[in-house]
Amino acid sequence: MHLPEGILPLPITLGGYVAAGLVAAFCVRRIRAQVDPLSQVPQAALMTATFFIASLVSFPIPPVSVHLLLNGLLGVLLGWFAFPAILVGLFLQAVMFGHGGVTTLGVNALLLGLPALAAYGLFQLRACCPLLLTRRFTLLLSFLAGALAVGLALLLFTSILLVGLPAHVDAALERRALMTLILAYLPVLFLEGLLTAMLVGFFLRVSPGLIERR
Amino acid sequence: MKSWKLLKVPTGSPLLHWEPRARLLSLLVLSFAISLVDQVKLLPWMLVMTGFFIIKSQVSLKALLSRLGYPSLLIVALVGLLPFVAEGRVLVQWGGVSLTREGLEAALLIAVRFFCIVSLSLLFLGVVPLLVHIRAARSLGVPDLITDLALLVVRHLEILSTDWQQMRKAMRLRGDAAGFWQRLNTRAWLLGSLLLRSHERSRHVYQAMRLRGYGAATPNPVNPSSMTAQSQQMTVWVFFAALSLFTLQFGWPS
């Protein structure tokens, strides 16, 4: 779900750069405000590499092909680091494989990074009420966070495409094509929710520190 | 560490000796100038301009085209469909399918913009190691938190993919789990183990980097006089190319 070069007009790509820069700066500020900000860099790098590899592997759901996004998982495990991590992952994908693009880097970072931050916000609901800090509730929140991130990314992706595609495209056909894409990504939404919950469950058993400090 | 250099060019190529910060900024300026174009009349000029940089770089056209294969797959469907799904003046009609002028123009614009930007990105960024760009981004003011992250990611990519292959092979040799849900669960646990293992390793690598003084030195400010003549020449060429596109786009008689 990466927007390639050449499709979007300049105001959207340039606006995307500015907005992504502002969000990244805000996230970096929040990270620096933490007690030991650099200690989380290795984990963030590791998750970025995982995001990088996962989103390059596509699998066909006819008539389109989809790939895992893992932005929800990044949000849950990395918190404020999720947005810079996605930005870095997208930059490397654009440079190394031409996946996404140099001019669409800002827009792509927004459409995957903002849902990741939303997933983090949802996962943080655990902190609101100590009674809800049970394993079952944590797993439920992880599932919802993983699925929400994919759903929001899909929503942003289709909205940007609707605005950015040439005006004379048959509107009904355009809507049908986007609906096909949304339907193709519905299994991914469920799968990512499940994968996020499974991984959080694994970390809770093996290394709870990775989850608890979020 | 692997250099992730995508294209090989002769040692005399001006692209190899281009100052990294100027290279990054030039690519951004030129790419945005190309994405500004929305007139079909300017497409030949964009292709000539891209061709000029391909010739100047002395890169093998075969190598460049082979690198374009993967990113092009993503856009082929859109460009192929657009002439038939757009509304406008019909050029040719076969039964219920009609090819429109507006659709054809939109598809041409997208295809040429895509080809030019991706080719220039590959030329400008693919001929030197990835680490050069990360350092350049750092000296352009990108926070060290982000550049450190990028450096570690590059390192992890090799380790992670090797470990993942090994773990999957080991699982297959042990018989692996049958059934979709069991396999999904196994894969999730496998991924979790891989992440945990690599996390410990990455923490040690990062601490070693910090102890060796990584990130302590402040980057040098941009000093145009330190740029070689070749560097300056390339930057000026890019500036003129971007300016020509800008002028033609807004100065073309309607």
Q: What is the ipTM of this complex?
A: 0.85
Closest CA to A30 of A79, A73, A76: A79
C-alpha B87/C-alpha B89 separation (Å) is 7
A58 backbone dihedrals φ, ψ, rounded to 5° = -100, 150
How far is the alpha carbon of B233 from chain A, nearest alpha carbon, in Å?
A: 23
pTM for this entry: 0.86
What is the distance between the alpha carbons of residues A171 and A191, in angstroms, rounded to a whole number?
31
For residue A154, which of A182, A119, A174 has the smallest C-alpha distance? Answer: A182
Question: pLDDT band at residue B166, thresholds of 50, 70 and 90?
Answer: confident
Kindly tell me if the per-residue pLDDT of B19 is higher than 80.
yes
How far is it, in rounded angstroms, from Cα B102 to Cα B105? 5
Residue A72 has what pLDDT?
92
- Chain A neighbors of B199, CB-CB under 8 A: 42-43, 46, 210
Task: Give the pLDDT of residue B1.
Answer: 59
List the beta strands (DSSP E) in chain A.
58-61, 64-67
pLDDT in tens, B112-139: 999 999 999 988 988 888 888 888 998 8
Average pLDDT, chain A: 84
Cβ–Cβ contact B247 with A under 8 A: no
Using a CB-CB cut-off of 8 Å, the residues of chain B touching A97 are 70-71
Q: Per residue in A27-69, pLDDT tens?
A: 999 998 887 777 788 888 888 887 787 776 666 666 566 677 8
